[in-house]
Amino acid sequence: MRPIYLLCAALLFSAAPTFAQTTPLQVQPAAAPAVDPLTTQITYIQNEWARIKYQIPSDDAKLAALHALESHTAQVAASYPQAETKIWQAIVLSTDAGIVKGMSALPKVTKAKELLEAALAQNQRALDGSAHTSLGSLYYQVPGWPIGFGDDEKAESHLKAALQMNPAGIDPNFFYGDFLLQDDRLDEAEAYLQRALQAPDRAGRAVADAGRRQEIKAALAKIAETRKSSGHKFN
């Protein structure tokens, strides 16, 4: 997802015919950086997703914006069927489903699951293993059989795979910490959430990082409240 920069300079040299005297070297302006169209599209999608998720307050407005982004992402994926576009299609669909909730959300999370599985088959390391992160988060947040495909064992397996590929990343640490929190493994959850909170900033992802850190702090506060209400510090 990173643009590749191409630097090209040419030197012009000319000699005076009578006096064998050279003119000053003239350097042409550097060529404009080459822009990868897929990178441009992914950057737009991830920034628009962050704006919608973290900066639009009402659910109705979020859903309207997400529907437009779903349409755009599907068009991009039709032109660029790489793992990266499949991952972002799945993330946008999952975010939509997270707002809608209930049975009506199942078709979208099922489609997201299929996209993430296809992305893993293409390139499991795309976007630092984000397909594992997103698929793991679906497995622990979607209800299990007979309603949905939720499966805690698969969730933990995918989240651990994501951490192997991106051990310091904010997202894999957050989602694994949140999974552990849902499983009442408070000490482990706190450790991974603290790692997520201390994760380095991602270039060009300021809005997403700020929003994610608020979610991390909320999860840590929930751990503290759970310990307080249960009358003990450690689980």
| Annotated domain spans of the chain | 55-157, 167-235
Residue 184: left if φ>0, alpha if ψ -120 to 50, beta else—which one?
left
- Reply yes or no on whether the pLDDT at 100 is more than 60: yes
pLDDT digits (tens, 9 = 90+) for 7-66: 333 322 333 333 334 333 444 555 556 678 999 999 999 999 999 999 999 999 999 999
pLDDT digits (tens, 9 = 90+) for 178-217: 999 999 999 999 999 999 999 999 999 999 999 999 999 9
Give the residue-averaged pLDDT of 91-96.
98
The pLDDT confidence band at residue 231, using thresholds 50, 70 and 90, is confident
More confident position, 29 or 170 = 170
pLDDT, the chain, mean: 88
Tokens 């795309």 found at: 126
> Which residues lie closer than 8 Å to 64 by C-beta, 6 or more apart?
none
- Which contacts of 97-102 are long-range, i.e. CB under 8 A and separated by 24 or more positions? 98/141, 99/59, 99/62, 99/63, 99/66, 100/63
Give the residues across from 22 on adjacent strands: 15
